[in-house]
Each structure stands twice: as C-alpha cells, then as structure tokens.
Structure 1
Amino acid sequence: MTQSSLTVGYVPGVTPAKWARTWAERHPDVPLKLRAVTAADGPAAVRDGIVDVALLRPSADTSGLSIIPLYEETTVAVVPTDHLLSAADEITAADLTDEPVLLPLDDVVAWAEAPSTAIDHRPETTEAAIELVAAGLGVLMVPQSLARLYHRRDLTYRPIAGAPTCPVALAFPAGQPSALVEEFTGIVRGRKPSSSRGQAQPTPKRTAREKTLAKQAARAAAGKVARKPDAPKRRRP
C-alpha cells in the first residue's frame, strides 16, 4: 500500500461510520478521511480525484467509474404527522394519485411514472423540500435514510408498496483499483481480516518427487542418529 491515506466520499443518508471504525482497527497507521458530497456531485468527485472512493446513489452520471452495488433502500413518502396517509403503516402508489408531490432538483428516487399531481415549483434540495412538507405544501418521496436524516417532530414517513427502490453503490475510477481502495471495498462487502487479499498466500503443495526426496533425506538423517557411537562405559575400580 503506497498511499498514505484514503479519502472516502459519501452522499447524504449513507452512514460510513461502521466501515471507518473497522478500517481504523485493521489499519491504524493509514488514516481514513470521510468527505460529504452531494448526490449530484459524488461521481465527479471520484473522477476528479477529490475522493479515492465514494458511497453514492448511481442514479447520477457514473461514466468512467467502476460501480459495485451494495444494497437497495425502501422508498418512503414524507408527510405531516396529522396527514391522512400517516394513519396507515404502508401506503400504495394509488394513495398518492391526488397528492401534490414535491420534486427537488437533487431527487434520487427517479420514479418517472409516479402516480401524483405535479407541482411546478422544484425546491433546490431535499432538505428544502422537507421544509415545504412541514408547511403542508405537498408530499415528498425519498429513500428511507433521507427521511431519517431530516427527521422532524411534526413529520413522519410511510413506505410505498410497489415503488422502485433506491440503490446505494461503491464507486471508484474505472480500471485497476489501488490496494487501499481494494481493502476498503473488502471491508464494505464484509470481508473478514483472515480473508483479506493482503494476506500471505498458502504454501503450495509439494510434488511427488519433492515428497520422495524429503522422505529419503529424513531416513538418511535417522540412520546417522542410529549409527552414533555409544558413550564409553565406565570401568569398575
């Protein structure tokens, strides 16, 4: 590992803390730096070398990057706590047909055929859209992690049955990744320390001839020990 540190980018809602802790335990001499990036800017941050690797939502342009899918998030609808939709544990797409839905410019759900009433105004960010939901101006569809990130007492969220899930992936520049990026990828994917690619390779098996020569050498060594002269006997006085 020739790099002196590793910089990991992450988009809102993704929590890399557990992987950072594992890294610190396994590589205390190699600092891992976490850098927050927006969903839209995440891929460019990797391509431009601002971060070495990133945890992002691949709905953005990922050209020039190697993408490793990690998991899928449930899509939820954020509504005021006194909203009619909050009475159910889960809602359906049909429940949103007559609801005004806010679509922020940094939207990551990418549900083009969502059954809803469009709103002309598009908030710049998801965080700004949350404020409008609290003001009663509409419903917001987001990955569950973003609903938790921007939680407010006057808001709640419900999973949407039949809605597309929101993927999260690991991204790094296309081509052969560095040793540190490979190691971080292994940690994220749950690779155990004993199975790390950096571990020494097992000793190769010996050929039949090598085994024969080893046996002959062992017998020869045993013969030398057997022929070793006994210690002289003590004479009686």
Structure 2
Amino acid sequence: MSDPSPADGRHAVPTLRVGFVPGVTVTKWRRIWADRFPRLGLDVVEVAQADQHAALTDEAVDLCFVRLPLEDPRLHLIPLWSEQPVVVARRDHPVAVFDSVTRADLAEEDVVEGFVGEEAFDLVAGGAGVLYLPQAVARAASRKDLVHRPVTDAEPTQIGLAWLRENPHEMIEEFVGIVRGRTANSSRSTRPAETGTPTTPTKPAKAGPARTAPRPKPVAGRTRTTSTRRPGRSRGR
C-alpha cells in the first residue's frame, strides 16, 4: 500500500497510536513503519500493564502490545511470544550464586506484591522480599543493587497485540501486517499476485516413439536376400 497523504489526492489519515507495556521493545516495527509510510505518523507510548485494557477501550491508543491474559470480546488479540519469568532479589541474596532457581527454592521467601516500577524494586533492595517479573521487564529495569535469575518451572507469561474490533483506523491492518512479518509486496491492500494475470508454465512436449522408415515392398517375381557380410569387412577384391 502506498503512503496515503493529501499529496496523493486522498484524504489525510490520522496518526496511528501504538501502546506497549514495559519490557516490550518496538524499535524494529517503528523503523519498518517509517520506511514503508514515511509521511504517516506513528505515536508510540508506554502503558502500564494495569492500564493496558483501559488504554484500548478508552481509545487512548489504536493498538497495544499487551501482557496476557487479557479477555474482552470487543478486542482482537494476536498472541506473539512467550516470556521467561524471573525472580528479582538483592545482590547479596542467596539466589545470586545460582544460574537459575525453581519455585521450591523460593518457597519460604516473602514476595513483594501490589507494587510496581521503582517502588517495588526499592522494596526488594531494602530486603522486604523478592519480586517475580517477566525477564524483559527485569532487564529493562536493571539495577546494580539487584540481581534476577530465571525460575525454570514458573509458568511463562505471554505478549500479544490487541485492538478494538470497532476501531475504524484504516492503517491498523497495515501495522498488524508489519508485526506479523508481512512484506510491502504482500500487503493486504496491494497484492501484485492477485492483480496480475497468472501465467502457467508450459510443459515440454513428451518425446514420442522414434519413427522408423517403412519396409520396402517386395517386387513381384523377385526374392529378397539377406546379406551375411560382417560389419567393416570389404566386399572382395
């Protein structure tokens, strides 16, 4: 699809607004969007996980990278990838000496709950307990006074892309296509393979049986003889 703009003699398309929860990196898709639609704006804004549903239903954003579960029949939702859960603890905590831990290893630990962002990290750093997070979130908020380790038997979390079914923005499908890896030539708006005339390769003709010369008809009153001369031998001197 070409970049829609007033210069093309078409109506102006409003800027597409895309939200994302902490831990999601949208740099790749922003770059592809800018290359494919250089004259069409893309607003990208971070949305707290607690606010991801409201951001969509209140139409603060047109689409949002959300952390599942998120159930609402008014929403389209495409699951994208899974996330490894980790535990965040003080740097001097016993878990720091391990490469990974299990839930049983942490069974007696106090878990910091009900707090988000820097406040939660501050509580962990102060010794209030440990914190469970998706690995991407822990990496994005890396601090020198904290460590995080994978919890190998914890249930993975999942990221998805959601948008309102009734959202009329005509470029939503284009952004969804970019996220799903659709190329510019395979855009839903323009499919060269469907607009051109398909050509069917011609198959080479099968070779028929070799044609042999017809046998000469015997002349009446004569008898055909068969030569017994061997190949390469002269007729005689």
Which runs of 5 or more structure 1 residues have no equivalent in the other structure? 105-122, 207-237
- Describe the SS at the equivalent of 1:184: helix
Which residue number in structure 2 is paired with residue 164 of structure 1? 155
Sequence identity percentage: 40
Deviation at 1:203, TM superposition (A): 1.9
1:155-210 deviations in whole A, cap 9, x for unaligned?
1100001101111100000258643111111111111222221224332448xxxx
Change (3 A) 1:62 1:134: farther
Give runs of aligned pairs for residues 13-32 of structure 1, distance below 5 A. Answer: 13-32=23-42
Q: 2:195 aligns with which of 198, 202, 218?
A: 202
Using the alignment, how far apart are the partners of 2:167 and 2:144 within structure 1?
47
* 1:52 equivalent in structure 2: 62
1:179 lines up with 2:170 in the alignment? yes
Q: State the match for 1:64 in structure 2.
A: 74
Query: What residue is the counterpart of 1:147 in the other structure?
Result: 138
CA distance in 2, matches of 1:40, 1:76: 19
Q: What are the residue-to-residue correspondences of 1:1-237 with 2, within 5 Å?
A: 3-104=13-114, 123=115, 125-175=116-166, 178-199=169-190, 200=192, 201-205=194-198
CA distance in 1: counterparts of 2:189 and 2:166, whole angstroms: 19
Aligned AA (1:203): G
Distance 1:176 1:153, change over 3 A: closer
Greater gyration radius: 2
TM-superposed CA distance for 1:60, in Å, is 4.3
Which amino acid is 1:10 matched to?
Answer: F
Q: CA–CA distance in 2 between the matches of 1:67 and 1:29?
A: 27
Give secondary structure in 2 for the equivalent of 1:183. Answer: helix
Gaps of 5+ in 2: 5-10, 200-237
1:102–1:129 Cα contact (<8 Å) kept = yes
* 8 Å contact kept, 2:109–2:129: yes
Q: CA 1:43–1:63 in structure 2 vs 1: closer, same or farther (change >3 Å)?
A: farther
Give the letter for the 2:181 counterpart. Answer: G
The RMSD of aligned alpha carbons is 2.0
TM-score (norm 1): 0.73
The TM-score normalised by the length of structure 2 is: 0.73
SS in 1 for 2:99: coil
CA distance in 2, matches of 1:47, 1:27: 26
> SS at 1:102's partner residue?
coil
